[in-house]
Structure 1
Amino acid sequence: MKTSTPERIREYTNRGFWGHDTLHGLLANCARSRAEQLAVADQPNKADLCGIPPRRLNFRELQHFSGRLASELLDQGIAPGDRLLVQLPNISELVALYYACSRIGAIISPIPVQYGRHELQQFAATLKPAAVITLADFRGDDLAARAVAALGDTPVWTLGETICTGDPDATFDEARLAAHQDAHPADANDIVTICWTSGTTGTPKGVPRSHNMWIAIARNTMEAGDYREGETLLAPFPLINMAAIGGFLFPSVLTGSSLVLHHPMDPPLYLKQLQDEGVTFTIAPPALLNQLAHQPALWEMGDFSALRAFGSGSVPLSPAMIETVEGDYGKAIINFYGSNEGISLFSTPVTAPGAEYRAALFPRLGVPGMPWQGQAHASTVTRVIDPDTGREITEPGQAGELCISGPAVFDGYLGHDGEGVFTDDGLFRTGDLVEIAGEPPNYYRIVGRCKDIINRGGMKISPSDLDTVLEGHPDLAEAAVCAYPDPMLGEKICACVVPAAGAKAPTLESLAAWLLERGVAKFKLPERIEVLDALPRNPVGKVVRGDLQQLITED
């Protein structure tokens, strides 16, 4: 399956941004040159999570294991172009499945373990999978039974029962697999994954991506994080989307690095793995980094001398956190902004030395006259447009929709007619509102989603800006704002808060006073407060503002 046109393939190949490497080909290179080096390591509590003992595989063993899984898929009748819906946590079997599917030309479509029957039916209706691969037990939840109940006639294969049984070193018919690969040679422009949008603004949509698209986004990530040969990478986010696939899976074989797995997020275990595995680079949720910055004793409990940098993102970061982690702990912070569709922006100590800038601003990649260097800037085009008229916005401080193109960007959603997805000249319309910012104005500031903006009597308010300020309240563990209807103004603002352990939730009056003290404009002040046990989040940790708004509207 290919989605890129011959013209697009020719352009990016001629410019050197696309090539001929495939995911399984990169693994084979590592198996030849780094056979005995650790390739993937399971989290030590894997058996408690899913009843399968943890594994530590070197590149030679991972190459063999992926070949064995590929052979099993062929035995089950999987053919090139078939789609497999895979619902697994971060375990070595999932890593091996990516390589196995790549080897036989099948397409892997990973989904979060949190998703239930409704979401499975949504995905399957669009994907039309040949089979589902999952677990009978993940933390006491029978994922296989759920899939059987949801999908009826679609085969459901259980890890350890239907496929991937026994010893990963067991022999298989290598000659048969080699013959299959000779008969069906892989192309770097073949689709290798179909991931899914997070669904914060509607039904999740399938995002087909080729080997070349993933390698392009991986190279951007590696450039931002200054990845080095033979590193040790700790991947705590699920291997289902851009952050983990583009940030860890592909880079691990592009740089010959060891991939250490973690999932779901368990801060004490995460910190222990950082120390015990000698991790050199990882990504961490902003909340965990904030906790480490606020509690030096927690940091001092471990030996993190091998670590050189943290990646983070998904929400604006705290400048104070960056100053503490970099100034006191000596670890660089890289702010990533990306998506399954191929958005690939980043703010680093080089491009944004000041903490205030790096916390919330991203270089305007691909815009003429910018001071940036490197492949990401050379290969990317970004533009801001008025979401209603399509007019390009070049003035600072005016919100518009971010549009982007480049070798990391996808070709279109699975089963979608493409209407409204791209500009007339081919830039992806991200749906994210940004404004040109900085002195000089060489940066973008993310101000929200096109559908997130709160319209209070004609005044447009970005909820993410208020979220960032509220995160600094000492009595709150979590906070987010959303709109609620008002007959006079159209919409007003509700602050949804989760008190910190042992703290009492602020009153609306005290919260407003606290916001005013921090320079928040009066028209942005919440006019309602709701105290919750937790904020609704999607499987990658983003607040689902639509669910929040529905909750408080029903109340």
Structure 2
Amino acid sequence: MIQVDQASIDAYTAKGWWGHATLGEIFLDMAARQPAAFAVADAPNRPALFGGKVKHWSWAELRQQTGALCALFDAQGLHKDDVLVVQLPNSVELHALYLACAIMGVMVSPVPMQYRAHELEYVTQATQAKGLISTQRLGSYLAAEAIQAMQANMPSLQWIWAYVDGSDVPLPAGVGVLDQLVADTVPWTEQQMRAHMQRIGLTANDVFTICWTSGTEARAKGVPRSHNQWLVMGESVIDAAQLPHGTQMVIPFPFVNMAGISTSLVAWLMTGGGLYHHHPFDLQVFLQQLQEHRVDYTVAAPAVLSMLLKSPELLEGVDLQRLTRVGSGGGPVAPWLFEQFAQRFGIEVINYFGSNEGASLASTPQDMPDQQQRANFFPRIGVAGLQWQSLTAQKIATRLVDLETGKDISASGQVGELRFKGPMIFSGYYNSPQVTAQAFDEQGYYRSGDLFEIAGERQQFYRFAGRHKDIVVRGGMNISCEEVENLLLSHPKVREVAVIGWPDEILGERVCAVVVPRNAAQPVSLEELVAFLKTVGKVAAFKLPERLELVDALPRNPVGKVLKRVLREEVQGAAAQA
């Protein structure tokens, strides 16, 4: 499926920003070039998380596993443009699945392990997915059993497979043991995989993934991205972090969205590197991986970096000589953190901002050697008269727009919405023409929903000023406030509710439900709301409220809209005084 219009394809190809090689072709080329080199490995705590032994694959072994999945998908009748939903923790198998889909022309739709019936049923129905792959368990959560129980509400699914990997606990009826299916399949050879891509006419402009993101809408939106769109993002990561060939990485991002896939799959693939999986984040496991492997690049939340600086004994025995750059972001980053990592360890911190739709900014040492500036600002890329070294700056156009007048902002101190256009920006939400039309302005720029202002003595920077979209960003995961509000409104003890983000040092924000009780004498508790969402709403765990504020009324404007900014000020102010 090609979703980008031909005029854009022609323009970006003519400029050399898009090419003809697919991710599958790049993988097969790299595996042929360095078959014995290390490719991917599981985190050391895999057995406790979801079972099986820790796997450590070379590029040749990964090619063999990918070939087996290609042969299995072909035998199962998966065709180009079919959709496969994948719900797996970060693991070597996830690499093989992505690459097999890239070769088969199957659109892979990865979802977080936290998704439950509310989200999974919607995703499979929206994509009409033919198959779903998960794991038998993650910790105590029996994923395969839960998915099998909801199969009646996912009528397009022809099969469900799960990785078991040595467990003696039987899978529920109707769920295939993927480990055994792969072991019983004769893998396709490199030549067979190349021949298949040629036979089906696969191009670099075909959709490779459909990731999911939340915005102001009550349901998640599918974000299709082509091979070319992903390759531009991978190139951007490589450029920002100055990753050499053979880069060794520990990446604790979930391997299901922009941050994870652009680095753990695309940048890894383009550099022919080695990746050590990690997720969910565990500080001790993270430190163990840094100690056991000589790592060139990693990423960590600002709170984690701060903890390492304040407790230097945690890094005793860790060889950081090859670790020259660390990515961070997703929340405010203190300038002292940038300065201290550079002074103590010779490590430069890169400040990232981005979205699944492809809107991205990066403050790098190349463009912003001043660490204080790098912590507080982003380059004002894509604007005439300003020159930057980053490759992204040469390919993207941005405009800052006053949301009341619709006019462009060109002076400092005025907050507006930042909008993007370029070869890394998606072309529209999956099967959602109305939502897509609202996502782009009259000039074809993507409306990011993020508020910035112009800063710097030469007006050369953007400074993040908040969000226009009604979302909570918890640990890098976008949560639609409207979605959670609609579910909570059906609770019998809730008269009115508004969901807002509550500042958190580690996760950036946590979900806070501000509730007007139906009966003030019998107010609802946080435990009741959480239990209701788990049992009735069946939503992902990361969407559950972690704070409850009870109020007599919600602040509204004359037409009845809840004033979220006023609400945040009121409840956070009251909490500070308590």
TM-score, scaled to structure 1:
0.82
Distance 1:323 1:421, change over 3 A: same
Give 2:409's match in structure 1, choosing from 354, 375, 393: 393
Match of 1:431 in 2: 449
Encode CA deviations 1:287-331: one digit per residue, 9 max, x unaligned: 211111221222235222221111011112111211221212221
How far residue 357 of structure 1 moved from its aligned partner, in angstroms, is: 1.7
Tell me: CA distance 1:271–1:53, structure 2 relative to 1, closer, same or farther (3 Å).
same
Give the 3-state SS of the residue equivalent to 1:529 in structure 2: helix
Q: Are the equivalent residues in 1 in contact too, given 2:87–2:133 (CA < 8 A)?
A: yes
Aligned equivalent of 2:482: none
Aligned to 1:162: 177
**SS of residue in 2 equivalent to 1:95:** helix
Residue 138 of structure 1 is matched in structure 2 by 138
Tell me whether 1:59 sits opposite 2:74 in the alignment: no
SS in 2 for 1:65: helix
Identity among equivalent pairs (%): 36
Match of 1:236 among 228, 232, 252: 252
Deviation at 1:391, TM superposition (A): 1.0
Aligned to 1:515: none
1:129 alignment partner in structure 2: 129
The 3 A distance-change label for structure 1 pair 260 and 198 is farther
AA aligned to 2:274 is S
Indicate the SS of the match to 2:178.
Answer: coil
| 295-304 or 415-424, which deviates more | 295-304
Please name the residue that 2:309 is paired with. 293
CA distance in 1, matches of 2:26, 2:320: 30
**CA distance in structure 2 between the partners assigned to 1:150 and 1:55 by the alignment:** 31
Give the corresponding residue for 1:33: 33
Instruction: Give matches, 1:175-214, under 5 Å.
Output: 179-199=195-215, 202-214=218-230
Q: Which shows bigger deviation, 118-127 or 166-175?
A: 166-175
Structure 2 letter corresponding to 1:237: F
Q: In structure 1, what is the equivalent of residue 89 of structure 2?
A: 89
Structure-2 separation of matches of 1:524 and 1:301:
47
Cα separation, 2, equivalents of 1:59 and 1:182: 22
- Map of 2:574 onto structure 1: 528
Native 8 Å contact 1:70 1:103 kept in 2 = yes
Q: Which runs of 5+ in 1 are unaligned?
A: 455-462, 496-522, 533-555
Q: CA deviation at 1:219?
A: 0.8
1:280 is matched by which residue type in structure 2? D
Shift of 1:163: 2.5
Deviation string for 1:205-258 (max 9, x for gaps)?
100000000000111111111111111011111110111111221111111111
Secondary structure of 2:349's partner?
strand
Cα distance in 2 between the residues matched to 1:494 and 1:207? 31
Give the match for residue 382 of structure 1. 398
Alignment counterpart, residue 414 of structure 1, candidates 418, 421, 430? 430
In the alignment, which residue of structure 2 is the partner of 1:505?
Answer: none
CA contact (8 A) 2:216 2:469 kept: no
Q: Is 1:9 paired with 2:55?
A: no
Displacement of 1:43 in angstroms is 1.0
Q: Is the 8 A contact 1:437 1:445 kept in 2?
A: yes
Conserved? CA contact 2:4–2:205, under 8 Å: yes
Aligned-residue offset at 1:22: 1.1
Gaps of 5+ in 2: 165-175, 473-499, 515-550
Picking from 322, 333, 358, the partner of 1:306 is 322
Q: 1:338 aligns with which of 340, 347, 354?
A: 354
Question: Aligned to 1:246, which of 262, 270, 274?
Answer: 262
- Per-residue Cα deviation, 1:7-36 (whole angstroms, up to 9, x for no partner): 110000000000012111111111111111
Write the distance in 2 (CA, Å) between the matches of 1:203 and 1:389: 29
Contact 1:61 1:169 (8 Å CA) reproduced:
no
**AA in 2 matched with 1:528:** A
**SS of residue in 2 equivalent to 1:209:** strand
Q: Which amino acid aligns with 1:83?
A: V
1:317-374 per-residue CA deviation (whole Å, 9 max, x = no partner) reads 1112112212122211001111110012100123222333211311011111113124
Structure-to-structure mapping, 1:319-338, within 5 angstroms: 319-338=335-354
Aligned length: 490
Inter-partner Cα distance in structure 2 for 1:438 and 1:374: 18
- The AA in structure 1 aligned to 2:273 is S
The secondary structure found in structure 2 opposite 1:293 is helix
Report what 1:120 is aligned to.
120
In structure 2, distance between residues paired with 1:262 and 1:363? 30
Pick which of 285-294 and 102-111 moved more. Answer: 285-294
How far residue 177 of structure 1 moved from its aligned partner, in angstroms, is 5.0
2: distance between equivalents of 1:267 and 1:200? 33
Decide which moves more: 147-156 or 17-26: 147-156
Distance in structure 2 (CA, Å) of the matches to 1:349 and 1:375: 14
Alignment of 1:485-496 (within 5 A): 485-486=554-555
Code of the residue aligned with 1:158 in structure 2: it is A
Pair 1:60–1:425, CA change in 2 (3 A): same
| Structure 1 stretch displaced more, 278-287 or 355-364 | 355-364
Q: Deviation string for 1:250-289 (max 9, x for gaps)?
A: 1111111111111111111111111211111011112211
Shift of 1:530: 7.5
Instruction: Please report how far the alpha carbon of residue 165 of structure 1 lies from its aligned counterpart in structure 2 after TM superposition.
Output: 2.7
Q: Shift of residue 109 of structure 1?
A: 0.5
Q: Is the 8 A contact 1:493 1:528 kept in 2?
A: no
Q: 1:491 Cα shift?
A: 6.3
Q: Distance in 1 between matches of 2:307 and 2:183?
A: 39
Q: Provide, for residues 381-414 of structure 1, a one-character-per-residue CA deviation record: whole Å limited to 9, x for no partner.
A: 0111122432111111111111001111100101
Letter in structure 2 aligned against 1:337: F
Over 3 Å counting, the alpha-carbon distance change for 1:38 and 1:492 in structure 2 is closer
* Structure 2 match to 1:281: 297
Aligned 1:437-452 pairs, distance under 5 A: 437-451=455-469
Q: CA deviation at 1:171?
A: 3.6
Matches of 1:23 and 1:176, distance apart in 2? 16
**Is the Cα contact below 8 Å between 1:399 and 1:434 reproduced in 2?**
yes
Shift of 1:477: 9.6
Between 197-206 and 123-132, report the one with greater CA deviation. 197-206
The separation in 1 between residues aligned to 2:193 and 2:229, in whole angstroms, is 26
Q: Secondary structure at the match of 1:208?
A: strand
AA of the residue aligned to 1:434: F
Deviations 1:68-98 (A, max 9, x none): 1111111211111100110001000011000
CA contact (8 A) 2:70 2:187 kept: no
Residue deviations 1:402-432 (CA, integer Å, cap 9, x gap): 1001111100101212221111121111111
Structure 1 CA distance for aligned equivalents of residues 36 and 509 of structure 2:
47
Pair 1:102–1:433, CA change in 2 (3 A): same
Q: Give the distance between the partners of 2:371 and 2:566, measured in 1 at CA.
A: 29
1:165 alignment partner AA: Q
2:438 match: secondary structure? coil
Give the CA deviation at 1:55.
Answer: 1.1
Q: Secondary structure at the match of 1:528?
A: helix
* Contact 2:88 2:134 (8 Å CA) reproduced: yes
Q: 1:493 to 1:322 in 2, by over 3 A?
A: farther
